[in-house]
Amino acid sequence: MKCLRFFVLFILLQQYATAQSWPDTVHMINKLFDRYQPNHPGCQVAISRNGEIIFSKAWGLANLDNNVPYTIETVTEAGSISKQFTAAAILILAQQGKLSLDDDLRKYLPEFPDYGHTIRLKNLLHHTSGIREWSNLEAITGWPRTTKAYTNAEVFATLCRQQKLNNVPGAEFIYSNSNYILLALIVEKVSGMSLPDFTQKYIFTPAGMTHTSWRDNYRKIVPNRGIAYSLKDGHYQINMPNESVYGPGGLLTTAEDLLKWAAFYLNNKLGNPGLLNQQLATEKLADGTDNDYAAGLVIDQQKGLVSHNGQTAGYVGIVENFKKQNISIAYLSNSTEFKDDLFGGVNGIEKLFIKPAAAETTPANKAQTAVTLSPEKLKKYVGWYSIDKVNEGVEIALRHDTLLFRGNPMVPVSEHDFTFNGNTVTFGNEGQMLVTRADKRKIQLKKEITAKVTPAYLKTFAGTYYSKETESNFTLLIKDGKLMLEKDNIKDAALIPTYRQAFNVLLNLDGEIYPVGANLLFETNNKKAITQCKVSMGNARGMSFIRIK
């Protein structure tokens, strides 16, 4: 079998390795992943063409305690790569006539709140439901993911307490793991089977995925599982997803199994004919804007790429399928050590095997000529701006005759238009500002009144605030002349004044700065007394916290 694999590999690679021999190509792939040292956490990589695996290898250790090597059969958690399997289960049920993607979520989960807008199953699939991100909701309680053993049932209870949506269903794409927890619950309710059992029967077994299962119970024994690690202060520490939430994540698999799956569904073998079209189908937003998120898969039409990445605790991975070339790449790792370049090796493989797509010739991609603006013209843009719908404060500062957006130099291309890091900024009338990101998504900002920060000003916000939506409270107090937020293991989280009655804060959880910042906007009554604050954190907008007298 090994001889056959290498023969197939040799024949296929002749089409791609024209500039170097196959041994040279293998050497280059090995070099891409030599940062995974023999005595450190590692990874596994598999490459296939036309469904045939042409390269598969592992580096590093799967278990540092016992010095167990990472192998191509080491079971690794795939993070959000899992979503495509939950989505596939929903599509199979639809094909079986047991549900419709146009069905109301509440048809299957009637306990879920009625927000006055129908949330359809397709909204959950495409992340356009507006349902808040559960992990952000739990983090604001002081217990983020990995600090508490959450279950799908507990998350559902939290979601049922939410009084508002992020947005009207269908209006925006906002990535939320909550969507796929709800889909997992629906699969189980409609099929009468657990999601692990349903996917085993209809997906894993037919696709030949012999090393794949779900982490539906974080305490269960998983043979040959790699342990996840993070690097802190120069030392590795175990960083496992100690929770029983599954559906948006929780898939336990190998790189080779992911390629078996890719070959299975891309060859239209999943379910009955026609299911593949639904897997790859995207749906525009209500305003006509494109949304590239299909059924748990991200679609890049320009590259002809179907992909998804994932990260849970210390696990990280990505699977890419280039349809035109029939090339698929799967990478899984048990370490987040290389945070700044997690997928650098995968990008290197792309360059070896995939011819770059022709660059778009749209005006947005054409080089724009910088212009020179006087300091007087630049000064009118200086100040604090609020990001629409999340209340986050963003400062536009002027340093050495250069405007800075969050510290990034802004290059003027006209009196009202600037660029930075592939993004464009357009200043409009009445303090309006529009940021068009490199991925074409738009963010609306508005210039606000800058807060006049004094000890008396900060003192007006001190007190305790409670939310029915999270069933938790937090306290704001003055400490060393700063307004600080404290709640359980949240200690000394300084509130940074932005515009009037608004603050940004990075949560300090158990001695570590939480990577997602919270934004607080306070509201007053007709006597100008603070009555409540709206907290937005990550992809959970506008949670209401009432001030306790």
Domains and CATH numbers, the chain: 1-80+195-357 (3.40.710.10), 364-384+395-440 (no CATH), 455-548 (2.40.128.50)
Confidence (pLDDT) at 382: 96
Within a 10 A sphere around the Cβ of 116, how many other Cβ atoms? 7
- Please give the distance of CA 36 from its chain centroid, rounded to a whole number: 24
232 or 116: whose pLDDT is higher? 116
- How far apart, in whole angstroms, are the C-alpha atoms of residue 531 and residue 545? 9
Give the model's pLDDT for residue 490: 74
How many Å apart are CA 353 and CA 456, to the nearest integer? 63
Structure tokens at 159: 């979601």
- Model pLDDT for residues 129-166, shown as the tens digit of each residue: 999 999 999 988 878 888 889 999 999 999 999 999 99
pLDDT confidence of residue 140? 83
Mean pLDDT of all residues in 23-49: 95
- What angle do helix axes 344-353 and 22-32 make, rounded to 10 degrees? 160
In this predicted structure, what is the pLDDT of residue 361?
A: 46
For residue 449, with 0-12 CB atoms within 10 Å meaning exposed, 13-18 middle and 19 or more buried, which class applies?
A: exposed
Cα–Cα dist 365/383, whole Å: 29
- The pLDDT of residue 21 is 81
Q: Is it the case that residue 1 has pLDDT exceeding 50? A: no
Query: How many Å apart are CA 11 and CA 9, to the nearest integer?
Result: 6
pLDDT at residue 253 greater than cutoff 80:
yes
Poorest-confidence range of 288-297, 336-345, 357-366? 357-366
Interval 370-377 mean pLDDT: 93
Q: Is the pLDDT of residue 517 over 80?
A: no
For residues 44-64, average pLDDT: 97
Pick the closest to residue 516 from 491, 486, 546, 536 (CA basis). 536
Among 483, 502, 501, residue whose Cα is nearest residue 493: 483
Given this model, what pLDDT does residue 487 score? 82
Q: 139 CB contacts (<8 Å, ≥6 apart)?
A: 145, 507, 509, 514, 516, 537, 538
Average pLDDT of the segment spanning 375-380: 95
Tell me, what's the pLDDT at 358?
60
Query: What pLDDT is attached to residue 24?
Result: 87
Q: How confident is the model at residue 368 (pLDDT cuts 50, 70, 90)?
A: confident
Residue 59 CA: distances (Å) to CA of 52, 79, 345: 21, 20, 12
Structure confidence by residue, pLDDT tens digits, 457-509? 999 999 999 999 999 999 999 999 999 998 876 777 889 999 999 999 876 65
Give the model's pLDDT for residue 477.
94
User: What's the pLDDT at 232?
Assistant: 87
Residue 66 has pLDDT above 70, yes or no: yes
The mean pLDDT of the chain is 91
pLDDT score recorded for residue 512:
53
Separation CA 16–CA 93 (nearest Å): 40
How far apart are the C-alpha atoms of 96 and 143, rounded to whole Å? 40
Which of 330, 309, 350, 348 has the alpha carbon at shortest distance from 259?
330
Partners of residue 518 on adjacent β-strands: 505, 537
Q: How does pLDDT run across 163-181, given as a tens digit for each residue?
A: 999 999 999 999 999 999 9
List, for residues 429-455, the tens digit of each pLDDT value: 989 999 998 877 889 999 999 999 999
Residue 28 token pair? 């280059």
Higher-confidence position of 390 and 247: 247
What predicted TM-score, i.e. pTM, was given to this entire model?
Answer: 0.91
2-13 vs 22-32: helix crossing angle, rounded to 10? 100
Dump pLDDT digits (tens) for 77-117.
999 999 999 999 999 999 999 999 999 999 999 999 999 99
Res 7: pLDDT: 41
